[in-house]
Amino acid sequence: MSELSQPDRVTIAHTCQDWAATYNGGPLHLTRHDAVRYLADGHLDALTARHGRDTIWQAVAAYLDAHPDTLTAPRTTQAQRAHRQAERDTRAAAHLAAAKDHHLRNLPYEALGLIDRAELASPTYRDFDRYRQYVHRKVPPFTPADLTATPHRYRTPLPLHSPVPGPPVVHHGAADELWVYPGRPVVNGPWPAATPEQCTTPDDTTWLAAGTVLVCTGCGLDVT
Ligand SMILES: [Zn+2]
């Protein structure tokens, strides 16, 4: 049993968004508990096999707690669910195409970032590890820094602006549109800008949590 990855959590979110309302209320008077059971046992077999039933039940219940509107949203038809999935797959395919382009231009780290982004758009679309393996054939051997006698400093986890993966940050700064490594979190706080894309001070940073997390003071983007 292992910890849920970010793509695992996206799979759970998509499943809840597509099916939770179908398993709540209705002529059968289904309860929230029924919804958790049908979602976890009926739609998340692959994750259950990897992480165990308890973990997936808890994760589904936690998602529904955080997003109660998914239970009361209008029920979806098969056509609507297929349409949503097709949109997710289209986004993933676009990121994979960009990843291939970067791979061919010998930009392996950018390619890997784009593969991560594709997987978050539609975790079930492809075997993304296979693409990573392709890229890793080109990545130069990594020589780690010598950390002898360097004390450990543990990064303090801070509450995130969007704990369940929301839309990835597209760029940083309203004017500069600086590139952001895919998957960068945004730390919760009273930042002047609502999102990194609207940030007006993308070069002003501050250390939080006893100097373990560096964030932008304009929008809370984690730039550690
Ligand atoms: Zn910022």
What's the DSSP call for residue 115? H
* pLDDT band of 154, cuts 50, 70, 90: confident
**Span 132-140, mean pLDDT?**
86
Rounded to the nearest 5 percent, the helix, strand and coil shares of the chain are 50, 10, 45
Which percentage of the chain shows pLDDT scores above 90? 67
**Tens-place pLDDT, residues 160-191:** 887 776 678 889 999 988 988 877 889 999 99
* pLDDT band of 111, cuts 50, 70, 90: very high
- Confidence check: pLDDT of 1 > 60: no
pLDDT of residue 165: 67
- Confidence check: pLDDT of 108 > 70: yes
pLDDT of residue 147: 84
Q: How far is the CA of 174 from the centre of ligand 1 (A)?
A: 9
161 vs 84 pLDDT, higher one: 84
Q: How far is the CA of 8 from the centre of ligand 1 (A)?
A: 28
pLDDT of residue 2: 64
- Confidence check: pLDDT of 75 > 80: yes
2: CB partners within 8 A, 6+ apart: 50, 51
Both tokens of residue 106? 């010998």
pLDDT of residue 159: 87
Q: How far is the CA of 132 from the centre of ligand 1 (A)?
A: 30
The domain spans of the chain are 6-72, 78-136, 156-224
- For the chain, the C-alpha Rg in angstroms (whole number) is 20
Q: Rounded to an integer, what distance in angstroms lies between the CA atom of residue 26 and that of residue 72?
A: 11
**Span 130-157, mean pLDDT?**
84
**Tens-place pLDDT, residues 48-69:** 999 999 999 999 999 999 999 9
**Tens-place pLDDT, residues 183-212:** 788 999 999 999 999 999 998 999 998 888
pLDDT of residue 15: 96
Which percentage of the chain shows pLDDT scores above 70? 97
Q: How far is the CA of 217 from the centre of ligand 1 (A)?
A: 6
Give me the DSSP letters along 173-218.
-TTT-B---TT--BB-S--SSSSGGG-S-TT-EEEETTTTEEEETT
Q: How far is the CA of 191 from the centre of ligand 1 (A)?
A: 9
* pLDDT band of 30, cuts 50, 70, 90: confident
Mean pLDDT of the chain: 90
Q: How far is the CA of 216 from the centre of ligand 1 (A)?
A: 5
pLDDT of residue 36: 95
